[in-house]
Amino acid sequence: MPSGLRDNNLKTSRHPLPPQWTLLGCGALGGVFASLLAQSGQSTRVLLRERHRATLHPGIDFTSLDGHTQLLTIERGFISQPGAIKRLLVMTKASQVVPALTPLIGRLPAGVPIVLLHNGMGIAEQVVQRFPHHPVIAGVTSHGAMQSGHFVFRHTGKGETWLGPVNEAAKAHAYLADELARALGQAGWDEQIRVRQWQKLAINCAINPLTALYKVKNGELSGTRFTDALQQICVEVADVMQAEGLPVSNEDLLRRVMMVVELTADNYSSMYQDMELGRETEIEAITGFLLAKATQYGIAVPVNQGLYQAIKEKQ
């Protein structure tokens, strides 16, 4: 089918058993993951906030990387009546994770794995505290996803996804990465997921505040006016990571940052977009997390501190 044409062949996924995957939140990344999971033949349901009940759309309009658009019917539920859940993928922004999960405390059967895919850090520990009888898994993904309208989603970039255990109980759930890989093309399990989370945090600490404050695309960070700031951000993040006992050098972090700057040169970062649209940014879970760790270890992080304050003032 030529690119952009709609496939009116509605795909339904009604199952008497709990769906393989329940996604909590269906924004840009949730909509794209739900679509890819459904397309791979895995039964999928999304749980939405109550306020969406009155505005239900008959289907999810999904455009894949090759430009092919399809209308998918994916089961939808609401937090007040979550139904049976086999495994839960939390697809909200960092600051929304705990509020979104709170109504499920005491209602999610013990042992159901909870997978977190937000950017930033520090949230998983709060989830473990509130769900002590659940495997909690952290994920890092570099897929690109966009929402351009009411249940209209586009997969904008193929990336890597890694999952790994946050608590002991999660170690038995490595198979989840294999099942996600069937939908995403690739997904891996890494027992040291914390290292990958920190590497992603370094990229977000470097790219997000600078692009949001200077109102530039990611690619512009390769210009000389940002060289010193990027180097200093990476030195500060590496200092804190080393205090956490993680093997890293500031040169390696900077190399990773510059690689992402190049690969996403034409993109506006999520923080830039959040600021432009007047939405809350993820600064707390990104630079805010770094600052909290730096304080814990008595490490000075003046450049990150300055960026944090500047974003908080403008937000």
Binding site for ligand NAP (CB under 6 A): 24-30, 48-49, 79, 91-94, 96, 99-100, 117-119, 141, 143-145, 147, 270, 282
Give 5: exposed, middle or buried? Use CB within 10 Å, 0-12, 13-18, 19+.
Answer: exposed
Catalytically annotated residue among 11, 200, 293, 312: 200
From CA 275, how far away is CA 44, in angstroms rounded?
32
> Of 169 and 195, which CB lies nearer to ligand NAP in the complex structure?
195
In the list ligand PAF, ligand NAP, none, the entry touching 24 (Cβ below 5 to 8 angstroms by class) is ligand NAP
Sheet holding 188-189: strands in order across?
75-78, 44-48, 21-24, 88-90, 114-116, 136-141, 161-165, 188-189
Beta-ladder partners of 193: none
In the list ligand NAP, ligand PAF, none, the entry touching 199 (Cβ below 5 to 8 angstroms by class) is none
> Of 95 and 270, which CB lies nearer to ligand PAF in the complex structure?
270
Would you say 71 and 65 are in contact if contact means Cβ atoms under 8 Å apart?
Answer: no
In the list ligand PAF, ligand NAP, none, the entry touching 203 (Cβ below 5 to 8 angstroms by class) is ligand PAF
In the list ligand PAF, ligand NAP, none, the entry touching 141 (Cβ below 5 to 8 angstroms by class) is ligand NAP
**3-state secondary structure (DSSP) of residue 21:** strand
CB 91, min distance to ligand NAP, A = 6
> Of 169 and 177, which CB lies nearer to ligand NAP in the complex structure?
177
Contact footprint for ligand PAF (CB under 6 A): 119, 203-204, 207-208, 218, 260, 264, 267, 269-270
* Buried/exposed 195-225: b ≥16 CB within 10 Å, e otherwise: bbbbbbbbbbbbbbbbbbbeebebeebeeee
Residue that is written with structure tokens 């690619």 in the block = 219
Residue 87, CB half-sphere, CA atoms under 13 Å: how many? 20
> Of 29 and 202, which CB lies nearer to ligand NAP in the complex structure?
29
CB 68, min distance to ligand NAP, A = 19
CB 129, min distance to ligand NAP, A = 18
CB 242, min distance to ligand NAP, A = 25
Give 160: exposed, middle or buried? Use CB within 10 Å, 0-12, 13-18, 19+.
Answer: middle
CB 180, min distance to ligand NAP, A = 14
CB 29, min distance to ligand NAP, A = 4
State both tokens at 85.
């859940």
In the list ligand PAF, ligand NAP, none, the entry touching 250 (Cβ below 5 to 8 angstroms by class) is none
Would you say 194 and 248 are in contact if contact means Cβ atoms under 8 Å apart?
Answer: no
Would you say 122 and 133 are in contact if contact means Cβ atoms under 8 Å apart?
Answer: no
In the list ligand PAF, ligand NAP, none, the entry touching 44 (Cβ below 5 to 8 angstroms by class) is none
200 given a catalytic annotation: yes
Q: Kindly compute the dihedral angle of the four CA atoms of residues 133, 190, 141, 50, in this order, to the nearest 10 degrees.
A: -10
> Of 80 and 295, which CB lies nearer to ligand NAP in the complex structure?
80
> Of 178 and 280, which CB lies nearer to ligand NAP in the complex structure?
280
Which residues are part of the catalytic machinery? 200
